[in-house]
Amino acid sequence: MHKTLFAALTALLLSAPTAQAFDLPEDEDAAQFVTSNVIATFYHELGHALIDVLQFPVLGREEDAADALSAYLTHQIWEEDSAAVIVADSANAYLLYSYEAEANGYETAYWDEHSLDLQRYYNLVCLFYGADPAARGEFVAEFELPENRAERCEAEYAQVDQAWGTLLESAEYKQGAAGLVMQGDASDPIAAILAEEVSDFNESYSLPTEVLVEVAPCGQANAFYYSGTSTITICTEYAEDLARIYETQYAE
Protein backbone atom coordinates (compact mmCIF):
# COMPACT_ATOMS: atom_id res chain seq x y z
CA MET A 1 0.00 0.00 0.00
CA HIS A 2 1.37 3.40 -1.01
CA LYS A 3 -0.76 6.43 -0.31
CA THR A 4 -0.76 9.36 -2.69
CA LEU A 5 -1.94 12.94 -3.13
CA PHE A 6 -0.78 14.25 0.20
CA ALA A 7 -1.34 17.83 -0.97
CA ALA A 8 -4.91 16.94 -1.94
CA LEU A 9 -5.50 15.56 1.55
CA THR A 10 -4.34 18.83 3.04
CA ALA A 11 -6.64 20.78 0.72
CA LEU A 12 -9.57 18.58 1.76
CA LEU A 13 -8.87 19.23 5.43
CA LEU A 14 -8.72 22.95 4.81
CA SER A 15 -12.29 22.80 3.57
CA ALA A 16 -13.58 21.01 6.71
CA PRO A 17 -16.56 22.45 8.62
CA THR A 18 -15.83 25.42 10.86
CA ALA A 19 -17.40 24.03 14.07
CA GLN A 20 -14.37 22.08 15.24
CA ALA A 21 -11.90 21.87 18.11
CA PHE A 22 -8.93 22.92 15.98
CA ASP A 23 -8.65 24.89 12.76
CA LEU A 24 -5.74 24.08 10.48
CA PRO A 25 -3.76 27.18 9.53
CA GLU A 26 -4.90 28.92 6.37
CA ASP A 27 -1.34 28.91 5.04
CA GLU A 28 -0.90 25.68 3.05
CA ASP A 29 2.70 25.09 4.15
CA ALA A 30 1.78 25.56 7.81
CA ALA A 31 -1.21 23.22 7.45
CA GLN A 32 1.04 20.66 5.80
CA PHE A 33 3.56 20.98 8.66
CA VAL A 34 0.86 20.29 11.25
CA THR A 35 -0.59 17.41 9.23
CA SER A 36 2.80 15.75 8.71
CA ASN A 37 3.66 15.90 12.37
CA VAL A 38 0.27 14.60 13.48
CA ILE A 39 0.69 11.59 11.17
CA ALA A 40 4.25 10.89 12.32
CA THR A 41 3.26 11.27 15.98
CA PHE A 42 0.29 8.96 15.50
CA TYR A 43 2.62 6.30 14.09
CA HIS A 44 4.87 6.77 17.14
CA GLU A 45 1.98 6.33 19.59
CA LEU A 46 0.75 3.38 17.53
CA GLY A 47 4.13 1.80 18.21
CA HIS A 48 3.48 2.00 21.96
CA ALA A 49 0.02 0.52 21.46
CA LEU A 50 1.30 -2.40 19.39
CA ILE A 51 4.06 -3.14 21.88
CA ASP A 52 1.42 -3.21 24.62
CA VAL A 53 -1.47 -5.16 23.14
CA LEU A 54 0.63 -7.55 21.05
CA GLN A 55 3.23 -7.95 23.79
CA PHE A 56 6.07 -7.27 21.40
CA PRO A 57 9.55 -7.54 22.89
CA VAL A 58 11.59 -4.34 23.12
CA LEU A 59 15.38 -4.43 23.18
CA GLY A 60 16.42 -0.94 24.21
CA ARG A 61 14.22 2.04 24.98
CA GLU A 62 10.58 1.81 23.96
CA GLU A 63 10.53 5.46 22.87
CA ASP A 64 13.31 4.77 20.37
CA ALA A 65 11.42 1.71 19.09
CA ALA A 66 8.29 3.83 18.61
CA ASP A 67 10.32 6.46 16.73
CA ALA A 68 11.68 3.71 14.49
CA LEU A 69 8.17 2.48 13.69
CA SER A 70 7.12 5.99 12.72
CA ALA A 71 9.97 6.23 10.21
CA TYR A 72 9.32 2.67 8.99
CA LEU A 73 5.59 3.21 8.38
CA THR A 74 6.17 6.54 6.65
CA HIS A 75 8.50 4.81 4.19
CA GLN A 76 6.24 1.79 3.73
CA ILE A 77 2.87 3.52 3.44
CA TRP A 78 3.44 6.75 1.54
CA GLU A 79 4.66 7.35 -1.99
CA GLU A 80 8.06 8.99 -2.26
CA ASP A 81 7.10 12.65 -2.52
CA SER A 82 4.58 12.42 0.32
CA ALA A 83 6.92 10.40 2.53
CA ALA A 84 9.68 12.97 2.01
CA VAL A 85 7.29 15.77 3.03
CA ILE A 86 6.24 13.97 6.22
CA VAL A 87 9.82 13.21 7.22
CA ALA A 88 11.07 16.71 6.37
CA ASP A 89 8.32 18.37 8.40
CA SER A 90 8.79 15.99 11.32
CA ALA A 91 12.57 16.44 11.34
CA ASN A 92 12.16 20.21 11.18
CA ALA A 93 9.79 20.10 14.15
CA TYR A 94 12.49 18.40 16.24
CA LEU A 95 14.93 21.04 15.07
CA LEU A 96 12.61 23.96 15.85
CA TYR A 97 11.76 22.69 19.32
CA SER A 98 15.46 22.20 20.01
CA TYR A 99 16.26 25.75 18.88
CA GLU A 100 13.42 27.14 20.96
CA ALA A 101 14.55 25.29 24.07
CA GLU A 102 18.09 26.59 23.63
CA ALA A 103 16.92 30.16 23.01
CA ASN A 104 14.79 30.09 26.17
CA GLY A 105 17.54 28.59 28.29
CA TYR A 106 15.62 25.40 29.09
CA GLU A 107 17.55 22.66 30.86
CA THR A 108 18.51 19.82 28.53
CA ALA A 109 16.36 16.84 29.53
CA TYR A 110 19.08 14.20 29.71
CA TRP A 111 16.87 12.36 32.22
CA ASP A 112 13.89 11.99 29.87
CA GLU A 113 12.84 8.63 28.42
CA HIS A 114 12.88 10.16 24.93
CA SER A 115 16.06 10.83 23.03
CA LEU A 116 16.96 14.50 22.73
CA ASP A 117 15.23 16.40 19.93
CA LEU A 118 18.43 16.72 17.89
CA GLN A 119 19.09 12.99 18.28
CA ARG A 120 15.57 12.23 17.10
CA TYR A 121 16.14 14.59 14.16
CA TYR A 122 19.26 12.78 13.00
CA ASN A 123 17.85 9.30 13.69
CA LEU A 124 14.76 10.05 11.60
CA VAL A 125 16.78 11.45 8.69
CA CYS A 126 19.14 8.49 8.87
CA LEU A 127 16.40 5.85 8.82
CA PHE A 128 14.54 7.50 5.96
CA TYR A 129 17.74 7.81 3.95
CA GLY A 130 18.75 4.25 4.81
CA ALA A 131 15.47 2.88 3.49
CA ASP A 132 16.42 3.96 -0.07
CA PRO A 133 19.95 5.44 -0.23
CA ALA A 134 20.07 5.42 -4.03
CA ALA A 135 17.07 7.75 -4.29
CA ARG A 136 17.59 9.95 -1.24
CA GLY A 137 21.11 11.33 -1.47
CA GLU A 138 19.86 14.89 -1.98
CA PHE A 139 17.52 14.53 1.00
CA VAL A 140 20.31 13.51 3.36
CA ALA A 141 22.50 16.33 2.05
CA GLU A 142 19.72 18.86 2.62
CA PHE A 143 19.35 17.76 6.23
CA GLU A 144 23.11 17.72 6.78
CA LEU A 145 23.51 14.21 8.08
CA PRO A 146 27.26 13.68 8.61
CA GLU A 147 28.86 11.28 6.15
CA ASN A 148 30.19 8.95 8.84
CA ARG A 149 26.63 8.42 10.11
CA ALA A 150 25.10 8.24 6.64
CA GLU A 151 27.37 5.31 5.82
CA ARG A 152 25.62 3.23 8.48
CA CYS A 153 22.03 4.24 7.73
CA GLU A 154 21.23 1.46 5.27
CA ALA A 155 22.23 -1.13 7.86
CA GLU A 156 20.27 0.72 10.56
CA TYR A 157 17.12 0.69 8.45
CA ALA A 158 17.64 -3.00 7.65
CA GLN A 159 17.60 -3.71 11.40
CA VAL A 160 14.33 -1.78 11.79
CA ASP A 161 12.84 -3.54 8.78
CA GLN A 162 13.79 -6.93 10.20
CA ALA A 163 12.45 -6.09 13.65
CA TRP A 164 9.21 -4.18 12.98
CA GLY A 165 8.53 -5.92 9.68
CA THR A 166 8.67 -9.34 11.33
CA LEU A 167 6.55 -8.25 14.28
CA LEU A 168 3.90 -6.66 12.05
CA GLU A 169 3.59 -9.90 10.09
CA SER A 170 2.14 -11.45 13.24
CA ALA A 171 -0.62 -8.80 13.17
CA GLU A 172 -1.74 -9.38 9.59
CA TYR A 173 -5.46 -8.79 8.96
CA LYS A 174 -7.87 -11.50 10.12
CA GLN A 175 -11.57 -11.35 9.30
CA GLY A 176 -13.65 -10.38 12.32
CA ALA A 177 -10.71 -9.52 14.57
CA ALA A 178 -10.39 -6.32 16.59
CA GLY A 179 -8.48 -3.26 15.42
CA LEU A 180 -8.24 0.49 15.90
CA VAL A 181 -11.45 2.35 16.74
CA MET A 182 -11.78 6.07 16.04
CA GLN A 183 -13.58 8.08 18.71
CA GLY A 184 -15.18 11.53 18.59
CA ASP A 185 -16.19 14.06 15.95
CA ALA A 186 -14.64 13.29 12.57
CA SER A 187 -15.38 16.83 11.34
CA ASP A 188 -12.38 18.04 13.33
CA PRO A 189 -9.48 18.15 10.82
CA ILE A 190 -7.05 16.37 13.14
CA ALA A 191 -9.63 13.65 13.74
CA ALA A 192 -10.16 13.42 9.96
CA ILE A 193 -6.44 12.80 9.48
CA LEU A 194 -6.45 10.07 12.09
CA ALA A 195 -9.69 8.49 10.86
CA GLU A 196 -8.05 7.83 7.50
CA GLU A 197 -5.01 6.31 9.20
CA VAL A 198 -7.26 4.12 11.37
CA SER A 199 -9.16 2.89 8.31
CA ASP A 200 -5.96 2.08 6.43
CA PHE A 201 -4.48 0.25 9.42
CA ASN A 202 -7.58 -1.89 9.85
CA GLU A 203 -7.43 -2.98 6.21
CA SER A 204 -3.97 -4.46 6.77
CA TYR A 205 -3.71 -5.47 10.43
CA SER A 206 -5.70 -6.95 13.29
CA LEU A 207 -5.31 -6.75 17.04
CA PRO A 208 -6.29 -9.07 19.92
CA THR A 209 -8.22 -6.20 21.52
CA GLU A 210 -9.54 -2.83 20.41
CA VAL A 211 -7.30 0.22 20.62
CA LEU A 212 -9.16 3.52 20.78
CA VAL A 213 -7.91 6.61 18.94
CA GLU A 214 -9.08 10.08 19.93
CA VAL A 215 -8.41 13.77 19.56
CA ALA A 216 -9.04 15.58 22.84
CA PRO A 217 -7.96 18.56 24.92
CA CYS A 218 -5.35 17.43 27.44
CA GLY A 219 -4.17 20.63 29.12
CA GLN A 220 -0.75 20.19 27.49
CA ALA A 221 0.83 20.08 24.05
CA ASN A 222 1.34 16.34 23.91
CA ALA A 223 0.26 12.96 22.56
CA PHE A 224 0.31 9.66 24.37
CA TYR A 225 -0.81 6.04 24.61
CA TYR A 226 -2.49 4.98 27.86
CA SER A 227 -2.35 1.23 28.42
CA GLY A 228 -5.03 1.30 31.13
CA THR A 229 -7.73 2.02 28.53
CA SER A 230 -5.80 1.06 25.39
CA THR A 231 -6.21 4.58 24.03
CA ILE A 232 -4.06 6.70 21.72
CA THR A 233 -4.71 10.39 22.37
CA ILE A 234 -3.54 13.24 20.18
CA CYS A 235 -4.04 16.43 22.17
CA THR A 236 -5.61 19.42 20.45
CA GLU A 237 -3.00 21.54 22.23
CA TYR A 238 -0.28 19.61 20.39
CA ALA A 239 -1.72 20.54 17.00
CA GLU A 240 -2.07 24.14 18.17
CA ASP A 241 1.55 24.18 19.32
CA LEU A 242 2.77 22.82 16.00
CA ALA A 243 0.99 25.69 14.27
CA ARG A 244 2.50 28.11 16.79
CA ILE A 245 6.08 26.96 16.38
CA TYR A 246 5.79 26.98 12.61
CA GLU A 247 4.45 30.52 12.70
CA THR A 248 7.13 31.62 15.16
CA GLN A 249 9.97 30.28 13.05
CA TYR A 250 8.74 30.88 9.50
CA ALA A 251 6.60 34.00 9.66
CA GLU A 252 8.14 36.87 7.75
* Residue pLDDT, tens place only, 126-180: 999 999 999 999 998 999 999 999 999 999 999 999 999 999 999 998 998 999 9
Q: Is the pLDDT of residue 11 over 50?
A: no
User: What percent of the chain is modeled with pLDDT above 90?
Assistant: 71
**pTM score, two decimals?**
0.90
In this predicted model, what pLDDT tens digit does every residue of 86-109 receive, in sequence order?
A: 999 999 999 998 878 677 666 666
pLDDT for position 8: 46
As a whole number of angstroms, the distance between CA 207 and CA 177 comes to 7
pLDDT for 4 equals 60
